A and B are shown apart, each in its own frame.
Chain A
């Protein structure tokens, strides 16, 4: 984060960056803890930078790759649902930091949606950092209380005979939704399919993107 902030040129400057705008209580606290850890030699600037790079390297592209492979390869889909971490390893995605990983397969009749009402548990190795709305009180409350209303705001209107299953990931399990393959995508390559798999479709609040007609 330090690179993105303006350099603090006050006399308090001591080798790393602080943002200039007014900080919240929690931001002040975290910077204070960071400074102490650095001063005491518990961690180094390099450790922090490595961790930031590691966090940034994980993105929804990992999940999209898993989903697209599952769409084109039914045997892979079976393995993905049976043993998600092994399936990740198979295509070069490091999911080892997840305690347990469960894939929820959507169909025309059953839709899954994931929330963590207690905090913001999220399959980070597969989807990267959660979006801010995923961590908001609003989403965390309404996902369990009015999931159809939330989906509607994402542009998805479901008929009443579709079963909506909201998973509240309160414990050691991390969930990934396997969205339905959009119609009319039979001729697309795995790489082209992966572009239709959005982060939000893997949280379950919307569908994968429709196929773009080729002219």
Chain B
């Protein structure tokens, strides 16, 4: 699963609450708009992958980026009620995540 990483190498571990960055810049980006600024938690650490945001321009994708499976409550993502347990889970690279209280 990607290149294996230890918990010392990653910024977040499963259970950590994270906020998705609201950066907006042109070009190839893998973090959808609807999830930017939202708060969720790390479900799983997938390991390190070549950075697709630079690979897309013919570069080498280095340095590798840690990829996380991040879970969000549906009700926190959309301003409407949803069934209480429903979730959206998004694969997000570490440089798009900040710690959340």
Contact = CB atoms under 8 A, between A and B. Distances in A.
A171 B49 contact: yes
B87 A165 contact: yes
Interface in B63-101: 67, 69, 71, 74, 77-78, 83-93
A13 interface: no
B49 A118 contact: no
Interface residues of B, number: 27
B10 interface: no
B89 A168 contact: yes
Majority-rule SS of B interface residues: mixed
A166 B71 CA distance: 9
Contacts of B89: 165-168
Contacts of A165: 71, 86-87, 89
Contact of A171 (B34, B52, B87): B52
A148 interface: yes
B27 interface: no
Given A117-B32, A145-B78, A170 B90 contact: yes
B100 to A, nearest CB: 19
A179 to B, nearest CB: 18
Interface in A149-169: 160-169
Interface in A122-147: 144-145, 147
A161 B87 CA distance: 13
Interface of B: 1-2, 30-32, 34-35, 46, 49, 52, 67, 69, 71, 74, 77-78, 83-93
12 contacts: A99-B49, A117-B32, A117-B34, A144-B34, A165-B86, A166-B89, A167-B89, A168-B32, A170-B90, A171-B52, A171-B67, A173-B69
Given A148-B83, A170-B30, A171-B49, 19 more contacts: A118-B32, A144-B88, A147-B86, A160-B84, A163-B86, A163-B87, A164-B86, A165-B86, A165-B87, A166-B86, A168-B89, A170-B32, A170-B90, A170-B92, A171-B91, A172-B46, A172-B49, A173-B46, A173-B67
